[in-house]
Amino acid sequence: MFKYKGYTGNVEIDIESKFLHGRILDIKDVVTFEGSTVEELEKAFQDSVDDYLELCEELGEEPDKPFSGNFPFRTTPELHHQIFLASKKAGKSMNAWMEEVLLKAIEQNNRRTAN
């Protein structure tokens, strides 16, 4: 994956044609890029992000933001209650407690997938 100006682009390989392509993952608009080498693909990704931002500016529209920081979470009433109790026991808000728990889970997952 590539990162640029807060946007993330995935990388896919077409084995048969030996061609690289990708798409910006974290927006609703469809923005793609392609290349023959990894370096070319990365440059195409950056150019696509820049072009997308310029087009939005020309049209007077706000570009999709990769993430707002607002994460609606739906669960059962029972789990909601358990989260509430766990956060109170930790002396934290539910948001702060969930952020801590999720960060730990991400770190564990990253360690597992790195091996």
- 77 exposure class (CB count in 10 Å sphere: 0-12, 13-18, 19+): exposed
Q: State how many domains the chain has.
A: 2
Q: What is the pLDDT of residue 3?
A: 92
Question: Is residue 70 included in any domain, yes or no?
Answer: no
How many residues are present in the chain?
115
Are residue 10 and residue 51 in the same domain, yes or no? Answer: yes
Q: What is the pLDDT of residue 46?
A: 97
Q: What is the pLDDT of residue 34?
A: 93
Q: What is the pLDDT of residue 17?
A: 82
Helix (H, G, I), strand (E, B) or coil at 13: strand
Q: What is the pLDDT of residue 18?
A: 81
- Kindly report the pTM of this predicted structure: 0.63
Are residue 108 and residue 81 in the same domain, yes or no? Answer: yes
Query: Which residues of the chain have a pLDDT value below 50?
Result: none
Q: What is the pLDDT of residue 28?
A: 86
The helix (H) or strand (E) run that includes residue 53 is: helix 38-59
User: Phi/psi of residue 34, each to 5°?
Assistant: -150, 160
Question: Is residue 66 included in any domain, yes or no?
Answer: no
Q: What is the pLDDT of residue 14?
A: 86
